[in-house]
Structure 1
Amino acid sequence: MPHARSQTENEIDRYVKQIQQLHHIPGLTLAIVRDGKLIHRGNYGLANLEFSMPVSDDTVFPLFSSTKIFSVVAVHRLIEQGKLSLDNKLVDFLTDLPEAWREVKIEHLLSHSSGLPDIVMYENLPEAEAQQAVYAQAILFKPGAQFDYNQTNYWLLNRIFQKIIGQTLSAYIMETQFSGTQTSAFFEGNHLAVMPNFASGYNNAGDKLTKRNWHFPHYNYAAAGLSLSMNAFLDWNKKLDAGALLSASGLVKLRQPFVYAKPRNFAHGWDLIELNGVATYGFTGGMATAYRQVPQKKMTLILLANAMFIPTVQRPGLDAIVNQLLTMADELP
């Protein structure tokens, strides 16, 4: 029998539906966990407009760059096993790098302080051609100097995983983080693919919704290729909290702030956002998905949508929405 919803849960529902309407989001799902207990969960709207399919606990959403959450855990898992170090230089594993890239370290890839040109400019090319094109570009700044988000970092991490363990980073994630849940957790770069429970994606930048036709190349799946249902995401989060994916000390290392020459809040792989003076950690992807931990409050929020939360003067962006939801969640019983 469903429990009676508290006033705060109803307020969260009203806020989500308001935001959903403001941003023209067909469907989304939200879960908030505190101290291992699910304190709020809701499915809102439609996973597929054409067939009026409602969002369910099993609806699978592409995560976009929130995929990096899992890639970062995989990297720190290898660090715990002594197979990799934050201080390792790329040239310890990759011998074909341009001379200017030779001082870049693993920590620079994780903190987006590598200064490398962005391979995303060439993502429609085969990997060999994309590699040649990005290698020909100049490095932007001395590694560690500042934050500059790019997908090249995760393409290189994928290549390093293949050198160290003979697997792609995406295959390693599936093997070590999602064993047995392939129907609700999988890598797929084509967002028009027909898959069980796969949410249809929509572009909502104009007056009319259109089908989202995005594609991520397999060689950069570690940056943006994972798709999950909320059930699968919650199971994964439970394993993370239990220390089954990383030890407590490994998670602390992941959350440790990286010190840039030009200051910016970011940890060793996850974003670091202060909310009312409290540190929160996580990632957002495609302006549509978000994962945020608040260790001080033992709270985690997961939000997955099938269209983008595009910020304007009248509409808050995804980080602001997550902050508001976390603030409201403080009042949940």
Structure 2
Amino acid sequence: MLSQPSQSLRQELSDLAKAGESADLPGYALRVYSQGQLVYAHDTGYAGAGFSNLIHEDTTFELASLSKIFTALAVMQLQEQGLIELHAPVGTYIRGLPRAWQGVTVHHLLSHQSGLPDLMNQWSRRRVNGLDLKGMMAHFEHNVRLQFEPGTRAAYSNTNYIFLAELVAQVSGQDFGDYLKLHVFDPAGMASSTVSSERWRAMGVFHALPYAENSKIHEADYNLLGAINQKSSIHDLAKFVNALMDKQLIRPETLATMMVPHAVFEDGKRYGYGWYIGQLGGWAAMSSTLPAAGVGHTGRLGAYRTALYFNKQRNFQLLMLSNGGVKTEKLLVDFLQKTRTRLE
């Protein structure tokens, strides 16, 4: 039986959901757990603007920057096996990097302290369209200058996690998507998850399109992995958190290393390895109290808005995936604020 705070929260979340309903509501899936029990579940809206496919627990969404959690986990699994040294230069593991980047370590990439520019946000959408790792490497052959000396500052950059995905591939000898399937998705029971558009089409799962007729995000094809491009369902995300907490994917001490602050951004937000620490970061930023039991990440790409937050000390989690842009962004922030007020 749910505790009184959880029962009250369930009603408040239900009221928020009802207040946000509309005839053309984009899709979202929400789950809130406390003390191992499901407090609230809500799947609603449409997986695109065709008004034909309703969202359900196995509908997959673009995770956007939630993908970084999985990339960091893959790196730390290899570190556990002694295949990666966190403070070794990245060039030890990735062939063909500029000599000028010798000071950039794996730790710097994980914690956004490398000085590498964020090409995904600095370049135009037309320039990013179809960009792959080979094209990005070609750019850096002639543009080797870093934005700051590694380790002296922290600046969020998708480029860091794109290179980490390549690091996983080169160290493991496997395609990055194959690695995640074998070492994360399969052990956690995440049957609908993938980092390849071709794979989820072949898997026969239904994917939530951006809330528009066009399936492209920003009219662009995003081909780079590691920072974005993972597709998962709300059902799969819940399985992932359970597997993480049940020590199925990584040792507790390694997870603890990921969940302590390794960097502080200029706005005061703290970052571990793939996790914001003590606050949820970006547009859903909350408390910065430390030491923090709460960690999370958000994602924003085109119309997709995603969030994963959990508090180990209080034992609750909030998971939300959506394809509705600003419409569902406000709901996500409201759901998160209400959940943290009641349970944290």
Fold shared by both chains (TM-score > 0.5): yes
Show CA shifts across 1:160-210 (max 9, x none). Answer: 2222110133321111111286752122358x96953211212xxxxxx66
Query: Displacement of 1:143 after TM fit?
Result: 1.0
Q: Tell me the equivalent position of 1:57.
A: 57
The alignment status of 1:271 with 2:273, answered yes or no, reads: no
Cα separation, partners in 2 of 1:63 and 1:25, compared to 1, 3 Å? farther
TM-score by length of 2: 0.80
Cα separation, partners in 2 of 1:13 and 1:108, compared to 1, 3 Å? same
Cα separation, partners in 2 of 1:232 and 1:37, compared to 1, 3 Å? same
CA contact (8 A) 1:118 1:134 kept: no
- Structure 2: runs of 5 or more not aligned: 1-5, 280-285
The alignment status of 1:285 with 2:299, answered yes or no, reads: yes
CA contact (8 A) 2:163 2:226 kept: no
| Percent of residue pairs bearing the same amino acid type | 25
Q: Tell me the equivalent position of 1:144.
A: 151
- Structure 1: runs of 5 or more not aligned: 203-208
Which deviates more, 253-262 or 290-299?
253-262
Q: Tell me the equivalent position of 1:247.
A: 251
Q: Tell me the equivalent position of 1:321.
A: 334
- The total of aligned residue pairs comes to 315
CA contact (8 A) 1:25 1:305 kept: no
Query: Displacement of 1:290 after TM fit?
Result: 0.5
Distance 2:13 2:331 in 1: 17
Query: Displacement of 1:106 after TM fit?
Result: 0.7
Matched AA of 2:61: F
Which deviates more, 279-288 or 268-277?
268-277
Query: Displacement of 1:25 after TM fit?
Result: 5.0
Distance 1:16 1:54 in 2: 16
Cα separation, partners in 2 of 1:155 and 1:81, compared to 1, 3 Å? same
Match of residue 300, structure 1, among 317, 322, 325: 317
Query: Displacement of 1:239 after TM fit?
Result: 0.7
Which deviates more, 141-150 or 268-277?
268-277
Distance 1:113 1:247 in 2: 25
Q: Tell me the equivalent position of 2:160.
A: 153
SS at match of 1:234: helix
Q: Tell me the equivalent position of 1:206.
A: none
Distance 1:74 1:103 in 2: 22
Distance 1:145 1:133 in 2: 24
More strand by share: 1
CA contact (8 A) 2:13 2:335 kept: no
Q: Tell me the equivalent position of 1:200.
A: 209
Q: Tell me the equivalent position of 2:12.
A: 11
Q: Please report the RMSD computed on the Cα atoms of aligned residues, expressed in angstroms.
A: 3.1
Cα separation, partners in 2 of 1:89 and 1:317, compared to 1, 3 Å? farther
Show CA shifts across 1:267-289 (max 9, x none). Answer: 12211234554732121111601
Cα separation, partners in 2 of 1:237 and 1:118, compared to 1, 3 Å? same
Cα separation, partners in 2 of 1:134 and 1:15, compared to 1, 3 Å? farther
Q: Tell me the equivalent position of 2:239.
A: 235
The alignment status of 1:213 with 2:227, answered yes or no, reads: no
Distance 1:151 1:245 in 2: 24
